[in-house]
Structure 1
Amino acid sequence: MMSPKNRSPLARVLRRCSTAVLAFALAGAALADKRYDPGASDTEVRIGHIGPYSGPASAYGTIGKAAGAYIAKVNAEGGVHGRRIVLLSVDDGYNPARTVEQARRLVEQDEVLALFAPLGTAQNLAIQRYMNAKKVPQLFVGTGATRFGDPKAFPWTMGWQPTYQDEARIYARHILATRPQARVAVLLQNDDFGKDYLKGFVDALGDKAASMLVAQASYEVTDATIDSQLIALKASGADVFFNIATPKFAAQAIRKVAETGWRPVHYLASVSIFVQAVLQPAGLDNAMGVISASFIRDPDDASLQGTRELAEYRAFMQQYYPQGEPSDFLNVLGYSQAQTLVQVIRQAGDELTRENLMRQAASLSMALPMLYPGIEVKTGPDDYRPIQQVQLVRFNGTRYEPLGKPVGR
């Protein structure tokens, strides 16, 4: 065989050309493996988020801040497959009309790859048909309304938390097991959020609903107070109170129940479980004994102290969101939702299309560090409800304590 030194100049030129062509072909093949939709590139992934940083539900604003802080942590560690995640988080004031404006801006002007965790039932309902018509993922919506887990009707919309109906069924079963002769009064927000909870509750009570439900009152999100509703509910003689309210009104209800001397067994919808945002404003003594449901672990839970999961969460909060309160459930929620989003982006690899993002979101099987043990995030092509179990908890005046083991619908 002729050595390289003895090859003719023409042969050496041809060899170099062949090498260059091969390298070019390989590079082209590598590029061909990458597929991008608007919002994705070799260097970044743009994701939109809509939350109530102002308005009657502004307590929820910290969810977006915690999620953004986790994204900042991921970016500081090199991003996902070398790409930086750009989270464009905007305020809608908890106003569905503004949610529509913000969604259109994020999709049509900012060209995000997906919307992540937009908060609120009415708010997500206002944009659901638009997002599906545009075929842009509406991922891990911040509501447990049942309609956001229907892949046949709305294949581009996926929930995250347990549904409100499933949660309400669990409360109803608990009441039937512990107080079968209970007289129940219900306060609910007058929208799809409140009605979804109420439907699950009534369905689970079954034939006993007619005799057990002795009073019902609703409020509008624009109301200043709910004092008159609480006075009427107390007058019913109910010994069980189901509080289906968002944080501002849930806190008012807890305080008013105590002020009137009413002492029912108090069930609180999980959307208002938060100690810092709800129970402290209501008065911790007033909240003693409140029963709720959670899938997220309380950072102050004695059983969690000394664990790696808690140490990592607290270190994250200290470094990336020092102004946030580590014990706030809402911050744990944002942290956990963001971890789910990052996993979906990671699974999508170099095929960062909207279709593949939904495909990966519907192919999850993961444990999140700050969820109760035994509660996992699992999805499938026909299962758009990632979390389907909750842990019943009771407030002891300082923190929530688990009641039994996690239960499903």
Structure 2
Amino acid sequence: MSKQNWFVVPTAPRLAALTGVCLILLAAGCDKKKGGGESTTSGPTADKGGPPADKGGGDSGTPGVTATEIKIGQTMPFSGPQSAYGVIGKAEAAYFKMINEKGGINGRKLNLIQYDDSYTPPKTVEQIRKLVESDNVAFIFQSLGTGPNTAIQKYLNDKKVPHLFIATGADKWANPQQFPWTMGWQPSYRTEAKIYAMYLQKEKPNAKLCVLYQNDDFGKDYVKGLQDALGDKYDKVVVKALGFEASAPTVDSELVTLQGAGCDTLMSAVTPKHGAQTIRKVFDLGWKPLHLLSNVSISRAVVLEPAGLDKSTGIITGQYLKDPSDPALADDPAIKDYKAFMKQYLPDIDVNDGNALYGFAVSGTLVKVLTDCGKDVTRENIMKKAASLKNLPVPAAIEGIVINTSATDFRPIEQMRLAKFNGTSFEKMGELFSADTSTTASR
């Protein structure tokens, strides 16, 4: 793969002492899986505040860290109703294998231990305890889901175990005062909804909006985002909002009810399974609202194609990563690197699956953090470096999107761009929006 400014392979002198390659086991039932991360350039110094950096070397007391290894823990829904997201974990394990084959990070290989929690919080709690107390991992990376991560957040913070770059856009992960060991990665769902509301206020000020949302922290963040942006206009703009349980087999009845409410605009705060169902049902009802679909459910391979590309035409969403299935990006250097990675390490996974691209991209951020730790791979220093990222490019992100964090800012990605699906690919709609202010960002 060609080198981009977001990917710098460790230099030859750094590789001299490295030996062996971690093996990754990726079975669908996956009791236990091992893998290994990525790297970029050296990073800026941390802002004061947050967890203090420990002066000791990682291999002299930090669980999961030796002179040759960093042990990382993760839960992921490899089975169950949200199993489409399991591809994220597979991509991350494969990415770590690639880095290990290039020599690892600062003399250490990455050992990723993954458990299948089926997106079930009680199971997540059990498995996280095992990862921390039995497997002795150094930190938790990219465990997926708002509910599962909510269930483990206090435990990990009480234990002072980094709960890093978790795979959910809930707004509450950006709370370093109360939870200094937890940090998200992607733009928050609340901000995404604010951007949709701003778009409607400008382009469709008389919209009659219906909201379909998953009845948990994930879906409720979208409702809160609308309330933030619309203020006292919320009750006038939002005609009806209906929640459904994540375990619901379908959302057909909710959509029939929403159509009957007389809405001409629909915002769907749903995950992939219900995203595909929503697209099909709206089409089958003959309902033609302006459809705003949550970013987590816009994968062409996982959602749009199963639902029908013709039925998906006109959908608007917020983007921060490029779409690997977009024909217009066939010659994009970052997409070409991603596809070369997939061909070599995950040939059996659909290269157009946006979940795989997500795993590829976030892995680069983690390896940047670990690279910046140098030999001081303590839990404290991992969090310090994670909270010290400045203008860090993201692999395969929309142009202009960079990561910035500080001891008081635990929102790594704070920008998005609206796009509309034209039946083949997503077309850009305007410039970037800043997630922290919900105003147009400079490019």
TM-score w.r.t. length of structure 2? 0.84
2:407 is aligned, of 381, 389, 396, to 381
Whether 1:118 and 2:143 are equivalent positions in the alignment is yes
How far apart, in 2, do the equivalents of 1:185 and 1:333 lie? 29
Work out whether residues 301 and 401 of structure 1, in 8 Å CA contact, stay in contact via their aligned partners in 2: no
Q: Pick closer, same or farther for the CA change 1:129–1:33 going to 2, 3 Å.
A: closer
Alignment partner, residue 394 of structure 1: 420
Could you tell me how far 1:279 is from its partner in structure 2? 1.1
Could you tell me how far 1:387 is from its partner in structure 2? 0.1
Alignment partner, residue 290 of structure 1: 315
Work out whether residues 33 and 350 of structure 1, in 8 Å CA contact, stay in contact via their aligned partners in 2: no
Report the 3-state secondary structure (helix = DSSP H, G, I; strand = E; otherwise coil) of the residue aligned with 1:352: coil
How far apart, in 1, do the equivalents of 2:135 and 2:220 lie? 34
Whether 1:320 and 2:345 are equivalent positions in the alignment is yes
1:137 is aligned, of 156, 162, 165, to 162
How far apart, in 2, do the equivalents of 1:185 and 1:306 lie? 39
Alignment partner, residue 69 of structure 1: 94
Residue-by-residue CA offset, 1:248-290 (whole Å, 9 max, x unaligned): 1111111100000000000001111111111112111111110
2:393 is aligned, of 361, 367, 383, to 367
Larger Rg: 1
Report the 3-state secondary structure (helix = DSSP H, G, I; strand = E; otherwise coil) of the residue aligned with 1:122: helix
For 1:92-103, list aligned pairs within 5 A. 92-103=117-128
For 1:7-406, list aligned pairs within 5 A. 34-36=57-59, 37-365=62-390, 366-406=392-432
Alignment partner, residue 23 of structure 1: none
Identity of aligned residues (%): 46
TM-score w.r.t. length of structure 1? 0.90
Could you tell me how far 1:348 is from its partner in structure 2? 0.6
Alignment partner, residue 433 of structure 2: 407
Q: RCO higher in 1 or 2 (8 Å CA, sep ≥ 6)?
A: 2
Work out whether residues 165 and 198 of structure 1, in 8 Å CA contact, stay in contact via their aligned partners in 2: yes
Could you tell me how far 1:54 is from its partner in structure 2? 0.7
Normalized per residue, the structure richer in helix is: 1
Report the 3-state secondary structure (helix = DSSP H, G, I; strand = E; otherwise coil) of the residue aligned with 2:311: coil
Could you tell me how far 1:302 is from its partner in structure 2? 4.8
Amino acid at match of 1:387: I
How far apart, in 2, do the equivalents of 1:190 and 1:35 lie? 41
Gaps of at least 5 residues in structure 1 are 1-31
Could you tell me how far 1:305 is from its partner in structure 2? 3.1
How far apart, in 2, do the equivalents of 1:245 and 1:307 lie? 30
Could you tell me how far 1:206 is from its partner in structure 2? 2.0
- RMSD over aligned CA atoms reads 1.2
Work out whether residues 247 and 271 of structure 1, in 8 Å CA contact, stay in contact via their aligned partners in 2: yes
How far apart, in 2, do the equivalents of 1:106 and 1:253 lie? 37
How far apart, in 1, do the equivalents of 2:322 and 2:411 lie? 19
Could you tell me how far 1:306 is from its partner in structure 2? 2.2
How far apart, in 2, do the equivalents of 1:151 and 1:363 lie? 13
How far apart, in 2, do the equivalents of 1:142 and 1:113 lie? 18
Amino acid at match of 2:409: D
Work out whether residues 251 and 282 of structure 1, in 8 Å CA contact, stay in contact via their aligned partners in 2: yes
Could you tell me how far 1:196 is from its partner in structure 2? 0.9
Report the 3-state secondary structure (helix = DSSP H, G, I; strand = E; otherwise coil) of the residue aligned with 1:257: helix
Report the 3-state secondary structure (helix = DSSP H, G, I; strand = E; otherwise coil) of the residue aligned with 1:258: helix
Could you tell me how far 1:207 is from its partner in structure 2? 2.6
Q: Pick closer, same or farther for the CA change 1:181–1:136 going to 2, 3 Å.
A: same
Gaps of at least 5 residues in structure 2 are 1-54, 439-443
How far apart, in 2, do the equivalents of 1:35 and 1:115 lie? 16
Could you tell me how far 1:375 is from its partner in structure 2? 0.4
How far apart, in 2, do the equivalents of 1:123 and 1:170 lie? 26
Amino acid at match of 1:34: G
Report the 3-state secondary structure (helix = DSSP H, G, I; strand = E; otherwise coil) of the residue aligned with 2:230: helix
How far apart, in 2, do the equivalents of 1:226 and 1:150 lie? 33
How far apart, in 2, do the equivalents of 1:401 and 1:356 lie? 41
Alignment partner, residue 26 of structure 1: none
| Deviating 4+ runs (over 6 angstroms) | none
Residue-by-residue CA offset, 1:213-252 (whole Å, 9 max, x unaligned): 1111111112111111110000011000000111111111
